[in-house]
Chain A
């Protein structure tokens, strides 16, 4: 017990590393402990099949906060984001829709579906950007405690209330619609083309156990436009060398500020003294002391796993049990002998240099959800696909490719019970590939290697409770000062000196880094170390 740190961060995911980097930058002595042999958590690159690097879990970098990029000087530490050029939607009827960064080109494509939609599309985008302006301050603040009489909390709440007042009647109405409507219904008010509405509505459901017709999903559409007002312009992209590149850049920044990082150092439990967190016990039995502990794991793993229910009060246990984790997605990574060639748009064109969605209609997506509601993986799921090797030569041998397929819904709670996922895994993956092969003739013969990750695998391998990629669903009742529960909303936990800094805290998931940054800021502001 020789060492003494100001803070130990459990988990070397991108948020844990971000928090560590900020704390180290402020001069604190920080130790990051990662259970696996590689850093990154769910933002990780691994060479699973020789010569092919997979972004095993998280595969696009969307809203990595520009402020973090600036504060931590990430480009100097190797951050390289390759932009997504297009959004390609192949359709089973032989048509397809590609949205480009060149607006006029997008308009022409949209016109073949609906000239009216093409006309209103930019109006919709503008309004969303305008709305996002009012939501954005929320991303930058630690959530206030609504029940608090602390003047600081009240001031924050007031500020927030005021910014919403500024909206004006028209936007106010829009706000309430977005908070209460489903993504599909909301889009119905604007657009007529089913293909466009289908592909747009999915941003309301990613990572949730909700359908495009479930109320409240409209709000999440806003997040899609957040980057536009965040100085993150042109930030949707692929990290060079895989998503792990983001984590590695943050890790290098943290080290440059003096943080210490250890891999293959899994934590088994918290070291508790007088009800306070005073360090950790490693899986190998070593004890490491610190003034406080910050968990980069999800709230349930943190409190049920490292602390244990016996140390927790009834209220905490109940709120954590009610906190919706219920993972709804899986992932398949492929090594390919050649680039995919879609029958509806033949050739390896620029339309593939972005994300590819299998989301042909609103009804298709809702049917996919129907399966999941009753404990079955979707027979015809929503898929979000990228082929990073088309833009990044470092992830596959010349001429060969890697493909990342995000699949929703693949519910954690299947009727057979989650522990039976491994027995179903390959059959499930075969089904997904069958659907995709309907769009890409001869696809199966080009597959050199396949890695299938069910929600069960995400839990076992990456510590994501119930396989939830966002450390808890991003649904309205689990956001802001409700994330993960009102009493734990400010990165604090009921255990003194134990903090949380990852996606289970405000503002939530995605490779955004915001929880890590805000947690560090809150720890420093509270003079906890």
Chain B
């Protein structure tokens, strides 16, 4: 049985659709209404508020905290200064990705790692010999994400932290309403947005304060169905969907390297040894076999395929997560693992893992598309990610 999150008392009342799902053992709202339009456009045009408490959280403290995390992560966390956040992944000894998440340096020798799956044991295994304490704070800290162009205006009404100074991927501590909170300029929507971290006992007060502040700015509580749409627009992969934890994979081919999931920019190779370093270095020298890329499905071709069956074209209203083969000239070269119709861009988008050398931008591919129970191939092109990248995200 899933458990309620600290915000449940509020979200349950608002969730008139009764559409829930389980997220890491918590009850999580899929969408507050039976259709997701309002939530989607709130994220993109106003602000959406979403409970992301179920993310796993690990607080790492102690004299060696930075050095220890530098050993775990593909990125050199030892250099992460107070008040900064970074995003990266970590791998096993063979350089195969276990999980990805953010690392925030809240204070001197105090970091918080987020992850999609439980990671305490893995962190503790590596921690031997380091002067660190690792605590699973998942059940102690409530987290909200406020995302969208109005997010700053709304949040600034409620907090004493100067948000004009809180730049992209920065963190600050302060007060919201009367509660102590941490705020990071991060999120999973690819838009201007913040995540608010607070001890569970403050959850309801913080929720109310943000919702109140947002009332005149068209704030909307949002659920996971909408988050899945916007994260694809933002080009963000999802653990367990677009790639898998190496430790739970049954065969080698199911595992991914940081390069394969397009996190090459996060890998910092030339430094003190870290887990997977040698294998990642060898892979770099050898060449990467496949990459997670963005696909844009051709509207004209999609329309043609539906027309062949005498049907008007149809596109999904929600993000899909069932993998679909990707071809080049009839031969399978990979698979699309999630896709969505972007209402803003008017484009049908997908994230796909494609074998080299077919994974370069501009390559013409095809994706399997079922029309009227028939498998067809629709034209798709490798395009840069993020698909949607507004200036306000960083501004």
Residues of A at under 8 Å CB distance from B? Answer: 66-67, 69-70, 75-76, 80-83, 85, 101-102, 104-105, 129-130, 132-133, 166, 228-229, 231-235, 240, 391-393, 398-399
Q: Are A66 and B346 in contact (CB under 8 A)?
A: yes
Chain A residues within 8 Å of B217, by CB? 393
Q: Are A393 and B46 in contact (CB under 8 A)?
A: yes
Q: Are B345 and A240 in contact (CB under 8 A)?
A: no
Nearest CB in chain A to that of B341: its residue: A233
Q: Which residue of B37, B150, B313, B388 contacts A83 across the interface (Cβ within 8 Å)?
A: B37
Q: Are B346 and A231 in contact (CB under 8 A)?
A: yes
Q: Which residue of B37, B45, B307, B341 contacts A80 across the interface (Cβ within 8 Å)?
A: B45
Instruction: Let me know if B169 is at the binding interface, CB within 8 A.
Output: no
Q: Are A75 and B345 in contact (CB under 8 A)?
A: yes
Chain A residues within 8 Å of B44, by CB? 80
Nearest CB of B to A63, in Å: 12
Known interface pairs A166-B310, A231-B346; 11 further A-B residue pairs with C-beta atoms within 8 A, sorted by A's residue number: A66-B299, A70-B346, A85-B38, A101-B37, A102-B33, A102-B34, A130-B312, A132-B312, A229-B313, A234-B343, A393-B216
Q: Are B312 and A229 in contact (CB under 8 A)?
A: yes
Which of B33, B341, B388 has the most CB atoms of chain A within a 10 A radius of its CB? B33
Q: A80-B45, A234-B343 are in contact. Are A101 and B313 (CB under 8 A)?
A: no
Q: A240-B45, A391-B218, A393-B217 are in contact. Are A69 and B345 (CB under 8 A)?
A: yes
Chain B residues within 8 Å of A67, by CB? 299, 346
Question: Complex Cα distance A102/B341, Å?
Answer: 19
Nearest CB in chain B to that of A78: its residue: B390
Nearest CB of B to A504, in Å: 26
Instruction: Let me know if B249 is at the binding interface, CB within 8 A.
Output: no
Q: Are B37 and A85 in contact (CB under 8 A)?
A: yes
Residue-wise, chain B 311-352 has the 8 Å CB interface mask toward A (1 for contact) of: 111010100000000000000000000000101111100000
Q: Are B45 and A231 in contact (CB under 8 A)?
A: no
Counting from the closest, the 6 A-B pairs by CB-CB distance are A66-B346, A229-B312, A398-B216, A133-B312, A69-B346, A102-B34
Nearest CB of A to B190, in Å: 12
Instruction: Let me know if B41 is at the binding interface, CB within 8 A.
Output: yes
Instruction: Let me know if B35 is at the binding interface, CB within 8 A.
Output: yes
Residue-wise, chain B 227-268 has the 8 Å CB interface mask toward A (1 for contact) of: 000000000000000000000000000000000000000000
Nearest CB in chain A to that of B348: its residue: A231
Q: Are B346 and A232 in contact (CB under 8 A)?
A: yes
Nearest CB in chain B to that of A133: its residue: B312
Question: Complex Cα distance A69/B343, Å?
Answer: 11
Chain A residues within 8 Å of B35, by CB? 101-102
Q: Are A233 and B315 in contact (CB under 8 A)?
A: yes
Nearest CB in chain B to that of A105: its residue: B34
Question: Complex Cα distance A231/B312, Å?
Answer: 10
Nearest CB of A to B90, in Å: 34
Nearest CB of A to B394, in Å: 14
Question: Complex Cα distance A75/B37, Å?
Answer: 17
Nearest CB of A to B146, in Å: 15
Question: Complex Cα distance A490/B311, Å?
Answer: 30
Residue-wise, chain B 40-77 has the 8 Å CB interface mask toward A (1 for contact) of: 01001110000000000000000000000000000000
19 contacts between A and B (CB under 8 A): A67-B299, A69-B345, A70-B299, A70-B346, A70-B347, A76-B390, A83-B38, A85-B37, A85-B38, A104-B34, A129-B312, A130-B312, A133-B311, A228-B312, A231-B303, A231-B313, A233-B343, A393-B150, A399-B216
Chain B residues within 8 Å of A130, by CB? 312
Number of interface residues, chain B, beta carbon within 8 A: 30
Question: Complex Cα distance A76/B217, Å?
Answer: 22
Q: Are B345 and A70 in contact (CB under 8 A)?
A: yes
Q: Are A234 and B37 in contact (CB under 8 A)?
A: yes
Q: Are B218 and A231 in contact (CB under 8 A)?
A: no
Question: Complex Cα distance A102/B45, Å?
Answer: 21
Nearest CB in chain A to that of B300: its residue: A67
Chain B residues within 8 Å of A81, by CB? 344
Nearest CB of B to A391, in Å: 6
Question: Complex Cα distance A392/B42, Å?
Answer: 10
Q: Are A82 and B41 in contact (CB under 8 A)?
A: yes
Q: Are B41 and A83 in contact (CB under 8 A)?
A: yes
Chain A residues within 8 Å of B303, by CB? 231
Nearest CB of A to B25, in Å: 30
Question: Complex Cα distance A229/B303, Å?
Answer: 9
Chain B residues within 8 Å of A391, by CB? 218
Question: Complex Cα distance A102/B17, Å?
Answer: 11
Chain B residues within 8 Å of A102, by CB? 33-35
Nearest CB of B to A212, in Å: 27
Question: Complex Cα distance A234/B241, Å?
Answer: 27
Chain B residues within 8 Å of A75, by CB? 344-345, 388
Nearest CB of B to A138, in Å: 15
Nearest CB of A to B145, in Å: 20
Question: Complex Cα distance A66/B344, Å?
Answer: 10
Chain A residues within 8 Å of B33, by CB? 102
Chain A residues within 8 Å of B312, by CB? 129-130, 132-133, 228-229
Residue-wise, chain B 348-390 has the 8 Å CB interface mask toward A (1 for contact) of: 0000000000000000000000000000000000000000101
Chain A residues within 8 Å of B299, by CB? 66-67, 70, 231
Nearest CB in chain B to that of A100: its residue: B35
Chain A residues within 8 Å of B317, by CB? 233
Nearest CB of B to A299, in Å: 30
Question: Complex Cα distance A514/B66, Å?
Answer: 58
Chain B residues within 8 Å of A70, by CB? 299, 345-347
Which of A75, A82, A83, A133 has the most CB atoms of chain B within a 10 A radius of its CB? A75
Chain B residues within 8 Å of A166, by CB? 310
Which of B38, B312, B313 has the most CB atoms of chain A within a 10 A radius of its CB? B312
Nearest CB of B to A163, in Å: 9
Nearest CB of B to A475, in Å: 26
Question: Complex Cα distance A70/B217, Å?
Answer: 28
Nearest CB of A to B224, in Å: 19
Question: Complex Cα distance A224/B35, Å?
Answer: 21
Nearest CB in chain A to that of B389: its residue: A76
Nearest CB of A to B109, in Å: 42
Q: A75-B345, A129-B312, A130-B312 are in contact. Are A82 and B37 (CB under 8 A)?
A: no
Chain B residues within 8 Å of A393, by CB? 46, 150, 216-218
Question: Complex Cα distance A166/B345, Å?
Answer: 32
Q: Are A82 and B45 in contact (CB under 8 A)?
A: yes
Nearest CB of A to B300, in Å: 9
Nearest CB of B to A61, in Å: 13
Question: Complex Cα distance A129/B37, Å?
Answer: 21
Question: Complex Cα distance A80/B317, Å?
Answer: 19
Nearest CB in chain B to that of A130: its residue: B312
Question: Complex Cα distance A76/B390, Å?
Answer: 7
Chain A residues within 8 Å of B344, by CB? 75, 81
Question: Complex Cα distance A132/B303, Å?
Answer: 13
Nearest CB in chain A to that of B44: its residue: A80
Question: Complex Cα distance A235/B388, Å?
Answer: 18
Question: Complex Cα distance A82/B343, Å?
Answer: 11
Nearest CB of A to B339, in Å: 15
Question: Complex Cα distance A460/B79, Å?
Answer: 66
Nearest CB in chain A to that of B150: its residue: A393
Question: Complex Cα distance A393/B46, Å?
Answer: 9
Nearest CB of B to A131, in Å: 10
Residue-wise, chain B 124-149 has the 8 Å CB interface mask toward A (1 for contact) of: 00000000000000000000000000
Nearest CB in chain B to that of A390: its residue: B218
Chain B residues within 8 Å of A76, by CB? 390
Chain A residues within 8 Å of B343, by CB? 233-235
Which of B33, B303, B313, B346 has the most CB atoms of chain A within a 10 A radius of its CB? B346
Which of A80, A105, A398 has the most CB atoms of chain B within a 10 A radius of its CB? A80
Chain A residues within 8 Å of B388, by CB? 75
Nearest CB in chain B to that of A68: its residue: B346
